[in-house]
Structure 1
Amino acid sequence: MLQGNCMFFTEETSTLRMKGVTVILLTAVLALGRCEHHEHTLENVALKGKAVQSSTYGSAYARRAIDGNRDGDYYHGSCSHTEGETNPWWRVDLLGVHRVSSVIISNRGDGFSERLNDAEIHIGNSLENNGNDNPTCAVISTIPPWEPVSFNCSGMVGRYINVLLRGYTQFLTLCEVEVYASPAEDIGIASTLGPSITQKGNVALRKKTRQSSSKSRGRASKAVDGKRSTRFQMGSCTQTRTEADPWWRVDLEKAYNVTSVTITSREDCCAEMIDGAQLRIGDSLENKGNNNPICTVISSFPAWETLTFQCHGMMGRYVNIFLPGCDKYLTLCEVEVHAEPDPVSLPEVTTDGPPLVTEPDSSEEFEEILSIAFDFMQSIQQLFGTIYPDSTQATEYLKENVLLAFAEEDEVTQDRQCTASRTVQENLATGGQTTQSTRWDDFGDATNAIDRNRQGVYLKGSCSHTKGETNPWWRVDLLKSYNITSVAVSNREDCCSERINGAEIHVGDSLENNGNDNPVCAVIPYIPSGQTRTYQCNGMVGRYVSILLPGKSKYLTLCEVEVNGNAIGNE
C-alpha cells in the first residue's frame, strides 16, 4: 500500500510477493519520491544502536547504515558493505527490546542495486546463528536505486534487527536502515536485556574466575561483570599476556546443564586473536580445566561482535576458553553461560584433578604479601603523610601491582614454554602427495598448495588452480592416518578471492568419490583476499584431506593448505 510518499509492504503484500505475484505498478509508485515515515510518533531507534556485519569491504563499516544519512552513493561514505561471501548479514542491536512497527531500508543508487533482492529482515531476541534464525518480518523483493522502502513488521518484539542475504558470493550493501519502534517494557523483558547483562539463566555472572595470566588491568573477573563494553580502556575486558596456550575459566560453583555460551569480543583491536579458541565444559580441573570436553571451536569472531554458541546441555561446573598456540594472548569482554534453571543434582562435584579449593587462588596466594606490603605503606604514611588515607584503596592498589609483578614473572616462564611448544606439531601436508580434478595451466599445479609458501599472487607460481568445472576438488595424501586437529587455507590475493566461498574441507581414509565423501571438517564461508584462515577439525582421523567446491562452472584456487595433527595414539 502507499502511505504518504512511501511504498509500504504489508504482511499481505509480502505474502503475495513470495507466491510469485508481480506487482506491476511497483516501480511507478516508488517513483513518486523518497519515503517519509508515516508514524511520526515513533523514534528511529536504530540511530542509538550498535551495528555489526559478517565482514567488511574496505572501510564500509556496519555503523554507516545507521548514521542517519540515506545517501545512496557508496563512494560518499554512508553505506555499509560486506565482502563477497556465503550468506552475508548485517545486524543492529537496539540495546533493549522494542516493539517494531516498521523497518525502512535505503538502497544503493550508483550501481548494483539488484544485489539487495531477496534479502531477509529478521527481528528477535536470540543471537543463535548471529541472529539470523529470528522470526522474519519481510523478504525484500526489490528496492530500486536510491529508494528507501518501508516494511511493516506489525509490532514484532525484539532487540536485534538483521538483514540476511542468502547464497554464495553475495555482497550486502545497505545505505541506511531505520527502525521505528517503541520500548517493550510492558512485556517485562526490555530491562533484562539491556547493555548490563542481568538476565535469568546467566549463571556465570560475578562468579569466581581465573586465567593463565593478566596484563595491566585485564583481570579475569571483568568477563563476568555483566557489561558487554567492547573497549579495553573502558575497563570491562580481560587480557592475558602473550604466552603459550592462554586460557580463561569461570567456576559456576555447581554443575549445570549448559545450553549455550555467549561471548562478546573486543572492538578496539585484536578481535581475530580469539580465532581458534576452544570452548570447554566439564567438572575436571586437570590441566586447569582445559582437558574438559569441547562444546565448540571458535573459527572466526568479528570485532564488536556478541556470538552465542550452542552447547546442547553439556554438564559441567567449569567453563573454559582455551586458545592453543604459541605467542598468543586471550582477551574477552563478556562471557555469559546459559543453563537449565537448576543445577544438576549432585551431592558433590567430582573432579578428575585436584578440587578447586586446593588450587592456589590469586587473592589467597598473595594474602601474606599484601599484608606485609600494607604494613609497609602504613609506615610510609607515618613518615611522609597521607599517601593512601583509604585502606581499601591502598589494598586494591597493592593487589593490582603485586599481581602484575607476578604476572610479568609468569610471562618469562610462559615464553620458555612457548618456545618449546613450537615443535609439538608440524605441517603434515609437507611431504604429502597432491592431486586435483584438473589443472588450469602450468602455474596451477596441485603441489603448489603445499610448498610452504602462502604467497597469494597466482602468476608467481605458488597457488594451485583448477579449470572451470562442476565440483572441482583438490586433495593431499598424508601417506598414513593422523588425528587432524586443524587445517589452514590461504586464499589468492591478486583477484577472485570470492571463488573459494562455500568450499568444503573433508578428512578421512576413503578414496570413494576422490575422497570427497569423507566427513566434513568445515565449510569455508569466505577468506579475505590474501589471508589465511584456520579451521578446527578436533582430532578427526584420516589419511586424505580434500577441498571440494560444489557447484557449476567453479574454479578452485589454493595458495597454501597446511594440515596440523598428531600421530594416532599421541596426545
Structure 2
Amino acid sequence: MTFHCNQMIARYVNIVIPGVNQRLLLCEVKVFAYFTGANMALGGVAAQSSLFYPWTLPSTVIDGNTDSSYFDGSCSSTQGQENQWWRVDLLAPYDILSVEVTRRTDCCISDLNGAEVRIGNSLENNGNNNPRCGVITVTSAVTMNFNCSQMTGRYVNIFLPRVGYVQLCEVKVYATTNVTGVNVAPRGIATQSAKPASAETAPSKAIDENPQETCASVPLQDNPWWQLDLRSIYRISNVSITSDCCSENLTGAELRIGLRNNTKNQRCAIIYIADGQQQYNYNCGIMEGRFIHVVLPGLQKTLTICEVQVYGTVLENVALRGVAFQSSSILTGHEASKVIDGYPFSTCSQTEDKTSQWVMVDLLFPCNVTVIQLAYSQDCCFSSDVRVDNTSCMVIPSSSQSLVTLDCGGLVGRYVTVMHPDIPPPLCEVEVYSTWENPQNRYPQQPPPSGYCLFDSCSRDYILIRNEPKSWFEAQTYCRERFTDLATISNANDMNRVVDKMNNDFNDFWIGLYKGNLTWRWSR
C-alpha cells in the first residue's frame, strides 16, 4: 500500500492501530522523502559584534531553544550601534538549503527590519561582505525562512547595515551534509573483530581511498565488526560506505558513531545496499565521535567493506594550550607536562606510589567542557574522580580500559583535575574538548595555589611585548590571539625569569589585583 503525504516534513513515522487488544503485523515500511537538510548551526561557533548584556552570549542563538522572550535567557542582542552583526561559523563549507531566523517577540519587534542574511567563506569585514541570501522584512511571523538556493559557505551572518540592534532568539542553518572538505578517515587506524584471511583484506584496505580494487573483510563469525579510530574527536557530518564486490556482506549492518572504544555507541543507521547500488551515504546531522563502527548482527556472518569516507571537523583539544601540574614526581621524563604533549600512550606522567595523588591541567581560561578523555599506560582498576574546577564530572568506573572517555555535559571551568584515591598507574594523556570558550571573562580567573608548580619543568616561556600599551582585557585578547595567554607567575623561579626578560629596560611592572564587578581578582 502506498500513501502520498504531500511532502510533509517530519522525523518520525508511526503506524498505529486504535483500539483495545489489537495486533500490529508489519513486514516492510519504506519512507521516500526529499531531504530537507540537517541544522548545521547546532555544531557551529557563534560570535557577534557586541553584547548588550554580558550574559546573553551569541551561542544562545544556536542552542536549539526557540524561546522568543529575551529575558528567558535564550536570545542575544548587540548594542545599538552602526553595522552590527551576528555570525555562526559552521566549521566547514556546506551547500546551504535554507536559513531560519527566529526574532524576539517581547519587545523591539521591528529591530531586525532590513537585516541581511549573508553566506560565504570569507571573513573580510567580519563576513559581512559575503554574498547575500535575503533581507529580513519583519511581519507577524516569529520565524522567518530564507531559501538560499544551495549557496555554499562556512559563515552565515545576520548583518544590519544601519544603526540599530541585532536581536536574535534562534538561527537554524539547514544544509546538505555533503561537506566540501577532506576525507579524514585515512588519518585513523582501522581494526576488526577477527584476523583477516590475508593482507589483501586487512582492515586498513577500507580507508586506502581505493574502493575499486581493495576491500576489508572480516571472516565468518558471529556479529562481526569493523572499527575506525579517528584518533581525535570530530564533529562528524557525513559517512560514505562503499561495497564494490559483495553487497550481501554489508546489507543489514549497523553504522555506529561515538566516543566509546566498543560497539555500544549510538546507532545512526542500518545500511541497505540495493541492487545495482555500490555506495551508502549516512546522514544523522552533526554527531561528535572518535570511533566509527560497522557492525553486522547475526550468527555466522562475513562483513566486507570496500571503502569508508568520513567528513567532519576536528574538535580542538584545549588542554594542549594549557599548563599541567601534579602532586609529586619521581622520575625525570615523567613530569606532568607529558599529559598534554599530544602523544597518548607514548609519553606518560608518573607520581609517587602512594594514595591521594593528583594531576591537574590549567586550561588558562574557563571553557565549556563537554568531553574529557584520559589515556593510561594499561587497563586497570580505577576509581579516580575527574573534576572541572570543584565539580565532579565523573568517577571512573572501577574496571576500565586504558582509554577512558567522560561526558561532562558542558561543565564550565578552568582547571581539570584527575584525583587518584589509590596508587595510580602512569597517566599518559589528558584531552579536554570544549564546544566554546568564554571570551567575556564572566568567571574569575584565579591562579593555582602556589604549591602546584614545584619543578623547573613547570616553568613557562615568556615573551615581552614592547611599546604597545593596553588595558588588562586588551592585553589578554592580544596574547591569546597571537601566543597562548597572559603571563602567569606561580613561584619565585617564574618571577626571576620575567625580571631577566626585562633586561633592565624597565624598573617595574604591574601584575597585582584588578577590581571585578563585586570583588578583587588576581590579574595575570
TM-score (norm 2): 0.36
Q: Larger helix proportion, structure 1 or 2?
A: 1
Q: TM-score, normalised by structure 1?
A: 0.33
